[in-house]
Amino acid sequence: MKRHDLTRRQLLQSSAVLGCAATFPFSRAAWGGQKTNQPAQSVAGDRAAPLTPPASGKIPVAFPISDGAVVIDFCGPWEVFQDASPMDGKSGFQLYTVAEKNAPIETSGGMKILPNYTFENAPRPKVIVIPAQNGDNEAMYRWIRESSKTTDVTMSVCTGAFVLAKTGLLSGKSATTHHYAYTDLALKYPDIHVKRGYRFVEEGKIATAGGLTSGMDLALRVVERYYGHDQAMRTALNMEYQGQGWLDATGTANAIYAEVGTTASVTCPICGMEVDEKSAPTSAYKGHTYYFCSNDHKAIFDASPEKALQMAANK
């Protein structure tokens, strides 16, 4: 068969591509020397148990989205699951978007997507991927809560953790989010143990990823749990993905973000983002002026300044 006759999947999964594994910089030793189908220790401290694929058919993966959904938060994991399907073509992952209405959704950057299903008619998922978004509502929360009763993994990406928190499924659990949202999440949901500087956190059936590209690492971890380390590595190779986060069992892959905002001269005490003191909203507390990236973060601070400062210092 000539090279141009190969399908994209066959080309990506050919033995020539897989032979590149010898030069890939991340060996099995880098993630603790686990055997195939045995994922590394989760960054939350408990071993994430291997997952069992169905005896036949594909694993349904749902992406609940609404206006403002951040493209890389759901398209990154989508690409991972798409490329992770084994060569038999019968197993792997079935991917679909789901929304409140069967109408175009405008995502970040103006991309418009027509959802595959609504919450009323979507297939039962085994994996749910929740991106950052700003059009989430009670219909979405109900669907996530109900669907999660039978999922293997319900995961959020970036500030999708806030959507997951609104469902109540993060209550009493450890979680992470985008580094600018650590304090915000901790203040709004004090029963959640916010893990700063973690690429992703797994706790039972619930998992949360840090910002943006962290979702790809968590998706690779899910692939590893279903189909083993070799298949996850194969997927990363095929994607030419060189991120190390999914191989890191210690939580240090995102450690730099635990201290974000500490070197800038003026930063928002809620998120650590550098702000322009000439135009930023301000609040005075105990003789000191604090500057904020937004009025929302100013309101959070004003509601409980002492608690906000304590959370911001809890790095």
Residues 59 and 202 in one domain: yes
Residues 270 and 175 in one domain: no
Distance CA 145, CA 151 (A): 10
Range of the domain at 268: 262-313
- Write down the pTM of the prediction: 0.81
| The domain boundary residue, chosen from 241, 257, 273 | 257
**Domain membership flag for residue 7:** no
**Domain membership flag for residue 115:** yes
Residues 66 and 142 in one domain: yes
Residues 271 and 253 in one domain: no
**Domain membership flag for residue 277:** yes
- Of 140-154, 213-227, 301-315, the poorest mean pLDDT is in 301-315
pLDDT band at 154 (very low <50, low <70, confident <90, very high): very high
Distance CA 220, CA 223 (A): 5
Residues 205 and 118 in one domain: yes
CATH of the domain at 201: 3.40.50.880
**Domain membership flag for residue 2:** no
Residues 66 and 186 in one domain: yes
Residues 284 and 171 in one domain: no
**Domain membership flag for residue 116:** yes
**Domain membership flag for residue 24:** no
Residue 38, phi then psi, degrees to nearest 5: -115, 95
Tokens of 58: 């594909």
Task: Single out the residue of 156, 152, 190 nearest to residue 171, CA to CA.
Answer: 190
Average pLDDT over residues 198-215: 94
pLDDT tens per residue, range 277-311: 889 999 999 999 999 999 989 999 999 999 888 87
| The domain boundary residue, chosen from 257, 277, 294 | 257
Distance CA 208, CA 271 (A): 18
| The domain boundary residue, chosen from 257, 275, 294 | 257
Distance CA 278, CA 272 (A): 17
pLDDT tens per residue, range 107-146: 999 999 999 999 999 999 999 999 999 999 999 999 999 9
Residue found by looking up tokens 């322009």 in the block: 276
Residues 129 and 225 in one domain: yes
Residues 172 and 253 in one domain: yes
pLDDT band at 246 (very low <50, low <70, confident <90, very high): confident
Report the mean per-residue pLDDT for the chain: 84
Residues 235 and 270 in one domain: no
Task: Give the count of domains, the chain.
Answer: 2
Tokens of 5: 């006759």
HEC readout, the chain: CCHHHCCHHHHHCCHHHHHHHHHCCCCHHHHCCCCCCCCCECCCCCECCCCCCCCCCCEEEEEECCCCCCHHHHHHHHHHHHHCCCCCCCCCEEEEEEECCCCCEECHHHCEECCCEECCCCCCCCEEEECCCCCCCHHHHHHHHHHCCCCCEEEEECCHHHHHHHCCCCCCCEECCCHHHHHHHHHHCCCCEECCCCCEEEECCEEEECCCCHHHHHHHHHHHHHHCHHHHHHHHHHCCCCCCHHHCCCCHHHHHHHHCCCCCCCECCCCCCECCCCCCCEEEECCEEEECCCHHHHHHHHHCHHHHHHHHHCC
CB neighbourhood size of 111 (10 A) = 12
Residues 55 and 196 in one domain: yes
Q: Which residue has the higher pLDDT, 247 or 64?
A: 64
**Domain membership flag for residue 279:** yes
Residues 230 and 275 in one domain: no
CATH of the domain at 268: 2.30.170
Residue 249, phi then psi, degrees to nearest 5: -95, 0
